[in-house]
């Protein structure tokens, strides 16, 4: 008798798709995070000047914040259907891919540039392509270390809090365990990444600046997480349709017992 092929299992296909999308979002967020954008100017609204801990500033964020909310949603979705082991597995894979990506970015920077390539973008206002390439892809080691440590720590906390809330509420209140786990994990993530990168790192931020910027970043992440709750329910409904009600229930029971 022919045994069913592994890739014919829709649950396996679903995990591969979620894991792949999770990892590409995490890696992209690290690489595009070098750009800082002004939220007010992007939206065409009047500047909002925050005043916290004796510090003032506008709403400026790294471009990576565009992708991190999707990472939160994918984390909670994988948590819902594949449990602790699923989230921990893809988190470690994502960290390995981030490190792998940065290693090759630094290797690419070290390659001797072709002389004609260095000036190839002068007409676009880039006098030295090699310096621009190095500035964009050569993020400081403190920033890289901070983002990796914060990401992994946040993921491990997220999965722990998610299942504590799930155990307390049962299968009800999907929004509560998703938002609650994000609230705790991103509180840690938002402060750890900036502390390692900018307090322990060479810039030596004062405590007041560290607390102010971390608080603003955390507030943004939480607002984004709350705004994306409908997407979480939409993804869950789509997964139910894809897997079928019986298979979906089976996965969720396995995840809850994990």
Please write the tens of the pLDDT for every residue from 170-199.
777 788 888 888 889 888 888 998 899 888
| Residue 178 counted as domain residue | yes
Domain with 61, as residue range(s), is: 7-114+124-257
Express the helix, strand and coil content of the chain in percent, nearest 5 each: 75, 5, 20
Residue 211 within any structural domain of the chain: yes
- pLDDT in the model for residue 115: 92
Confirm whether 1 is domain-assigned: no
246 belongs to a structural domain: yes
pTM exceeds 0.85, yes or no: yes
Q: Which regions of the chain are under pLDDT 70?
A: 1-3
The count of C-alpha atoms lying within 13 angstroms of the C-alpha of 40, restricted to the half-sphere facing its C-beta, is: 10
Per-residue pLDDT, 16: 95
Q: How many domains does the chain have?
A: 1
Q: What does the pLDDT look like over 30-54, one tens digit per residue?
A: 888 888 888 888 888 887 888 888 8
Q: Is 119 within the bounds of a domain? A: no
Q: Is 45 helix (H, G, I), strand (E, B) or coil?
A: coil
Tell me what pLDDT residue 2 has: 62
Would you state the pLDDT for residue 1?
52
Asked if residues 40 and 34 have their Cβ atoms less than 8 Å apart, the reply is no
């Amino acid at each position: 008798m022919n045994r069913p092929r592994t890739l014919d299992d829709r649950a396996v296909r679903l995990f591969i798709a979620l894991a792949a999308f999770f990892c590409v979002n995490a890696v992209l967020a690290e690489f595009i995070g070098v750009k800082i954008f002004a939220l007010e100017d992007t939206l065409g609204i009047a500047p909002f000047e925050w005043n916290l801990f004796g510090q003032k500033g506008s709403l400026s964020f790294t471009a990576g914040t565009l992708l991190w909310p999707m990472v939160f949603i994918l984390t909670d979705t994988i948590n819902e259907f594949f449990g602790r082991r699923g989230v921990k597995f893809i988190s470690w894979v994502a960290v390995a891919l981030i490190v792998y990506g940065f290693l090759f970015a630094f290797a690419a920077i070290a390659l001797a540039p072709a002389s004609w390539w260095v000036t190839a973008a002068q007409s676009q206002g880039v006098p030295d392509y090699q310096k621009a390439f190095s500035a964009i892809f050569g993020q400081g080691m403190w920033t890289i270390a901070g983002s990796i440590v914060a990401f992994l720590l946040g993921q491990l906390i997220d999965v722990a809090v998610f299942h504590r809330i799930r155990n307390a509420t049962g299968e009800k209140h999907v929004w509560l365990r998703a938002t609650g786990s994000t609230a705790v994990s991103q509180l840690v993530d938002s402060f750890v990444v900036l502390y390692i990168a900018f307090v322990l790192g060479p810039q030596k931020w004062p405590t007041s600046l560290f607390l102010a910027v971390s608080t603003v970043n955390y507030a943004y992440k939480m607002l984004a997480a709350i705004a994306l709750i409908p997407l979480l329910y939409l993804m869950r409904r789509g997964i139910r349709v894809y897997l079928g009600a019986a298979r979906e229930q089976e996965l969720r029971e396995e995840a809850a017992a994990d």
